[in-house]
């Protein structure tokens, strides 16, 4: 089976490097590695998301879904000093890198890099941020999004960035149809930035 960034245990050699990124006016140096998403730079879609959406104005409990090496999670924790950020990924190498990068950013105590099943059941999220793994396929993508959106707080908001040619417009309609009213808040470099809110049933 091919080694993907959404593989649980990347089979490629763990070759590390650093990348520079400017997020919300701050400079970051992240450690990346082979076998993780966008290891050579801050992904274009992620950069569009972070440029089009302002950082949280208040602390809360946030989810970075598909954290990769953790740029979104680290930036959220830095910008909201009292926030708790759950950085979720299926890729164990990505989680190791997120922990390292959170340490370098001084937010290791508030960034929690974990596998999906390791998020406590009672945690609810004020905001979800994601550049979702579209390439896992539509059925699995939809299942994943519904699982996490069900844990969005009643007044919560979810931010997504999706390539237009990868179904960004259809995903916007689908989210609305599922009870999460979704609007496009930005569009740049072939990506759609979407904002979904929680109008669906409360999780049991």
- Asked, for residue 123, whether it belongs to a domain, the answer is yes
Number of H helices, E strands in the chain: 5, 9
Name the domain count of the chain.
1
Q: Mean pLDDT by 10-residue block, N- to C-terminus, for the chain (204 residues)?
A: 45 75 96 76 91 95 96 97 96 94 98 97 97 84 95 96 79 94 91 89 46
β-pair type (111-114, 84-88): parallel
Domain that holds residue 44: 16-197
The CA distances from residue 37 to 57, 70, 117, in Å, are 28, 10, 20
pLDDT recorded at residue 5: 44
On whether the CB atoms of residues 144 and 160 are closer than 8 A, the answer is no
3-state class of 157 per DSSP?
Answer: strand
Asked if 127 contacts 157 with a C-beta cutoff of 8 angstroms, the reply is yes
Residue 97 domain flag:
yes
Examine residue 193 and state whether it is found in any structural domain, yes or no.
yes
In a domain, residue 4? The reply is no
Do 86 and 151 form a contact (C-beta atoms < 8 A)?
A: no
- Total Cβ atoms within 10 A of residue 73: 31
Note the pLDDT of residue 188. Answer: 86
For the chain, what percentages of helix, strand and coil (3-state, to nearest 5) are there?
A: 30, 30, 40
The whole-number pLDDT of residue 15 equals 62
Question: Which CATH number goes with the domain that contains 60?
Answer: 3.40.50.150
């Amino acid at each position: 089976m091919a080694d993907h960034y959404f593989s649980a245990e990347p089979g490629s050699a763990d070759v590390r490097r650093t990348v520079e990124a400017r997020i919300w006016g701050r400079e970051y140096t992240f450690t990346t590695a082979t076998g993780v998403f966008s290891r050579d730079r801050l992904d274009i879609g992620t950069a569009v998301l972070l440029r089009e959406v302002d950082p949280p104005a208040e602390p809360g409990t946030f989810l970075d879904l598909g954290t990769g090496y953790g740029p979104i999670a680290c930036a959220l924790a830095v910008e909201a000093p009292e926030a708790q950020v759950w950085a979720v990924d299926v890729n164990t190498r990505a989680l190791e890198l997120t922990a390292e990068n959170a340490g370098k950013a001084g937010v290791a105590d508030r960034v929690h890099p974990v596998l999906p099943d390791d998020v406590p059941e009672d945690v609810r999220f004020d905001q979800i941020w994601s550049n979702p793994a579209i390439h896992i396929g539509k059925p699995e993508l939809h299942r994943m999004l519904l699982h996490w959106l069900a844990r969005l707080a009643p007044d919560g908001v979810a931010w997504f960035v999706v390539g237009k040619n990868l179904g960004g417009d259809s995903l916007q309609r689908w989210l609305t149809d599922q009870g999460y009213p979704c609007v496009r808040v930005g569009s740049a470099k072939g990506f759609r930035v979407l904002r979904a809110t929680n109008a669906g049933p409360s999780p049991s």
